Structure 1
Amino acid sequence: MSTNLIINKYKESQIKEIDRRSNISQKELIKEYIEPAIPVILTDATKDWKAMGKFTPQFFKANYSHITKEIRGKTYTLPEYIDLMLTSTPEKPAPYPFNFNLEQRAPELLDDLKPGILYSKSDRVKHPLLPKFMLKGTEVYEIFLGGNGGHFPFLHVDALFLHTQITQLHGSKEFFLFPPEQTPFMYPREENPKISQVNVFSPNYEKYPLFRQAQPIRVTIEEGETILFPTKWWHTTQIHEPCISLGRVHLNESNWNDFANDNFLSLKKYRPGMAIPALVYTKMLGQLINLQEKING
């Protein structure tokens, strides 16, 4: 589906809230939400995950003291950060986010996140013919930790135009989402048009007057719930209690060309000789996967 068609659909539907669904089949999910590019909250997709009830602050503090993260020029160990996160307040919030690549830092935990949620008829991000360097700038599985009063530092669209899945493993998180047709109100940065110049939590309307017309969808994702939303939705988050989330990126037919083109632009900067061959390869791979998914039903 083209961007214009997606935007027109949003304008027609005027989405004001996001459905919460339980006991939905993969076919229903794809037909009712993925193909029409509509966000959805799944309330029970994690019911069989070993991670639920296991991935607590105490678990990470006891078992992953070697993981560190630099935030605003200061390096924290995971146990140090968890102490801050548990005592965080809106007046004195823990720095946010403390995030890390799960596949690299704790790959043994991936089995606790099954069965996975598919955003298409196949998991294209994990397709054996997709080179890993094409996912440069993003993490497939990413853990985020934060405390009361924390919020993501900027309003943005996810890297490489990937679709987004966020699952609440511990605590809740509030999301602010703006559909793609509101992009003119977001004042994208010139150097990185996937990041807004506007501070959504304290907007400067004199400097960014069009942001007055922005109409966010605000929704809180509770522990055990998963939100799925398509690329080009602007979003940021705010935290009101100790919180651990899993981020997972997705590819399907609808964002494949945007993904390929964004990779091309990135490669032109850091591996220019690879840019055109990678673009041609990715477009051909997309056609191959389309055929595979069609044959496999």
Structure 2
Amino acid sequence: MSKKINEKIQSIIKQCESLSNDDIESLPNYKKFKVFYSKKSHKTCDIYLLCAFIFGLLAIFTTSISYIGIEHVLYYSYDRIFSINIYHEECLAPKLETLIDIFRPITSCDICQHIDHIERISNITREEFEEKYAYTNHPVIITDAMNDWLALENFNYEFFKRIYRTNSSALRGVEDNCQFFPYKNKDEFETLGDVFNMDFDRAHMIDDDYKPWYVGWSNCDYSTAYLLRQYYSRPYFLPERSESSKLDWIFMGTPGFGAHMHIDNVDLPSWQAQVRGRKQWTLRPAPECFHICKELTFIVEPGEIIILNTNVWYHKTSVVSEDEISITIGSEFD
């Protein structure tokens, strides 16, 4: 039996040896095999090229580290990729808002499905505010809570420039321990000190072709907080057992600029008092509520306070004053 099989194999081999290239190419499965082998060869080649490219980058990177130094390589990489200055950041992990959005808790659409405008109210009791607005995630504007605030007359660019003067404890507190948001001006304002060192004409919008600016920062220096709170008082409508955060947030800038659309990652709802200028707000529901809830756009006028949970509402702002900078101060409350 094995002898017959061997003879058959030898016969097939002789037939194959007698075939010309034309005979082989005329076989039905030759073209399929050729296409398959060509694709496989290309894929293999692409993989080799990709590996060579990666190893080349690694070689350049490791050579750069040994030649330039790890500190300079990190500085350049973070500056180019994340726009982070490693000398001014305590944490080198970039704050990627896209990732924060992806992993945030799902929002209940009950908070926004019946809201089609922002109410403006006054003379509200603490009990009514607590029941309807304080913890319901229902945004509202209070129009009469700043009537006796000295901030309305005293807060301006020069006032804050004096407080956050060069080498002051207030400025060091912000630059060492607090948050600073330069928004669209991040290429020119690395610290709050840069804001108060800008050209006088630009700061006060003297030239018609001035370059707009808008910044925000938290104040976590207790002595500075005590000084600021001599110019404003606790909003009367906050529930009696509620405590405001010891942290002040201040936002200031010229017409045309503001904060981009985002959602915050803070602990509590907040109030923001519009001390100077006019600011347009846009509130957008979470993506899972687009089919139920409406986007809201409105303007907060000087002397008004908006109450908003920025952890559940996406929001952006834009200063819309014609000839005045916007100054807003606010705080969280529990």
- Measured against the shorter chain, the TM-score band is 0.5 to 0.7
How many angstroms does 1:116 deviate by? 3.5
CA contact (8 A) 2:255 2:319 kept: yes
Q: 2:137 aligns with which of 37, 49, 63?
A: 37
Q: SS of the residue aligned with 2:281?
A: strand
3-state secondary structure, aligned to 2:154: coil
Q: Which runs of 5+ in 2 are unaligned?
A: 1-104
Q: Distance in 2 between matches of 1:215 and 1:90?
A: 37
Give 1:41 shift. 0.1
The equivalent of 1:146 in structure 2 is 253
- Structure 2 counterparts to residues 232-243 of structure 1, below 5 A: 232-241=312-321, 242-243=325-326
Q: 1:55 to 1:184 in 2, by over 3 A?
A: same
Question: Partners of 1:37 and 1:184 in 2: how far apart?
Answer: 14
Contact preservation (8 Å) 2:124, 2:237: no
Matched, 1:110 2:229: yes
Contact 1:102 1:142 in 2 (8 A): no
Letter in 1 for 2:264: D
Q: Does 1:164 align with 2:270?
A: yes
User: 1:74 aligned to 2:195?
Assistant: no
- Does the residue aligned with 1:59 lie in a helix, a strand or coil? helix
**Contact 1:143 1:244 (8 Å CA) reproduced:** yes
SS of the aligned residue for 1:232 comes to: coil
TM-score by length of 1: 0.59
Q: Distance in 2 between matches of 1:87 and 1:98?
A: 18
Determine if contact 2:258/2:318 at 8 Å carries over to the other structure: yes
Rg bigger for which structure?
2
CA RMSD in angstroms, aligned pairs only: 3.4
Structure 1: unaligned runs, 5 residues or longer: 127-138, 186-209, 252-297
Shift of 1:105: 7.5
Give the alignment partner of residue 96 of structure 1, picking from 211, 214, 217.
214
Secondary structure of 2:266's counterpart equals: helix
CA 1:36/1:160 → structure 2, altered by over 3 Å: closer, same or farther? closer
User: 1:162–1:175: structure 2 CA closer, same or farther, 3 Å change rule?
Assistant: same
Contact 1:85/1:148 (CA < 8 Å) preserved in 2? no
CA deviation map 1:212-248 (0-9, x unaligned)? x984211111111000012301111011231111131
How far has the Cα of 1:38 moved from its partner?
1.2
Partner of 2:299: 220
Determine the structure 1 residue equivalent to 2:110.
8
| Residues 66-75 or 110-119, more deviating | 66-75
CA distance in 1, matches of 2:207, 2:116: 30
Displacement after TM superposition at 1:175 (Å):
0.5
SS of structure 2 residue aligned to 1:53: helix
**Cα deviations by residue, 1:27-47 (Å, 9 ceiling, x for unpaired):** 111122224331110001111
Give the distance between the partners of 1:98 and 1:88, measured in 2 at CA.
22
CA contact under 8 A between 2:109 and 2:293: conserved in structure 1?
A: no
Q: Closer, same or farther in 2 for the Cα pair 1:9/1:150, shift >3 Å?
A: closer
| TM-score normalised by the chain length of structure 2 | 0.53
Q: Secondary structure at the match of 1:248?
A: strand
1:26–1:89: structure 2 CA closer, same or farther, 3 Å change rule?
A: farther
Distance 1:104 1:115, change over 3 A: closer
Higher alpha-carbon deviation: 233-242 or 158-167 = 158-167
Between the aligned partners of 2:328 and 2:254, the Cα distance in structure 1 is 12
Separation in structure 2 between the aligned mates of residue 219 and residue 81 of structure 1, nearest angstrom: 32
Match of 2:328 in 1: 245
Structure 2 residue matching 1:99: 3-state secondary structure: strand
Deviation at 1:110, TM superposition (A): 1.7
CA contact (8 A) 1:48 1:115 kept: no
Checking the alignment, whether the CA contact within 8 Å between 2:146 and 2:303 is kept in structure 1 is: yes
Q: Is the Cα–Cα contact under 8 Å of residues 141 and 304 in structure 2 kept in the other structure? A: yes
Displacement of 1:26: 1.0
